[in-house]
Structure 1
């Protein structure tokens, strides 16, 4: 069974956020008919849907987490190598993201994180096998 993951996030500016995620490897930019959301793809089974804040709040029927003071989720994505983890996080930094310190290695796991333009926390992870 194949399960597709849809990551939904509120953003302040759709175009700017879409460009940020395209710079780290997401592709496409399929807007919703009302232009309040846009969908990008990382691969066949991972989709990112960005929503303007008001549309996200309407959809969820609750307030939006203030990413300056709290975290609701950390999105972790697997990379093919230690080097790819660094490359992807460096791309995020070059596009305006906030790198969360140096990479961390724990046994066979290497991880490095960043916050996107709206403060959502991400990490790229490589597990040596």
Structure 2
């Protein structure tokens, strides 16, 4: 089964959100973008739907939280290298994002967190392919390193 993932984010400024995600190298699908929402295409099966808070509220009876003060979820995306993680964060910071905490380096995995201008949480990470296959403890043991904690 092939599935597509659509992650819905609230925004208080749709134009600012579109500009931010385009600055990261993603594109906006105009067929699913209007004054209420923007479809941000990450790849063929992964999309962010950036919705005005009011429009997002039409999909649920629950309160729409303010991502600047409340965390509902964090989305993590893989990169091809540690350098690619740093490059993505550099683009994001230049486009108005913020980095809420220092980079996390576990030896087998390197990650950096990002908040978009609305406070929605994204993580960019690189994991050594062998660590993904073997598991972090086995990989670190093979490397002669002690586990640094769980990610």
Higher CA-based Rg? 2
SS in 2 for 1:118: coil
SS in 2 for 1:99: coil
Counterpart CA distance in 2 for 1:42 and 1:120 is: 16
SS in 1 for 2:10: strand
1:108 is aligned to 108
- Superposed, 1:20-59 pairs within 5 Å as 20-30=20-30, 32=32, 35-59=35-59
Which structure 1 segments of 5+ residues have no match?
none
Give the Å deviation of 1:101: 3.1
Higher strand share: 1
Which structure 2 segments of 5+ residues have no match?
130-151
Contact 2:26 2:41 survives alignment (8 Å): yes
2:78 is aligned to 78
Counterpart CA distance in 1 for 2:105 and 2:43 is: 26
Instruction: Tell me the matched-pair count.
Output: 129
- The 1:28/1:86 distance shift into structure 2, 3 A limit, reads same
Runs of 4+ in 1 over 4 A off after TM superposition: 31-34
SS in 1 for 2:30: strand
Larger RCO (CA under 8 A, 6+ residues apart): 1
Counterpart CA distance in 1 for 2:44 and 2:54 is: 28
> Normalising to structure 2: TM-score of the pair?
0.79
1:7 is aligned to 7
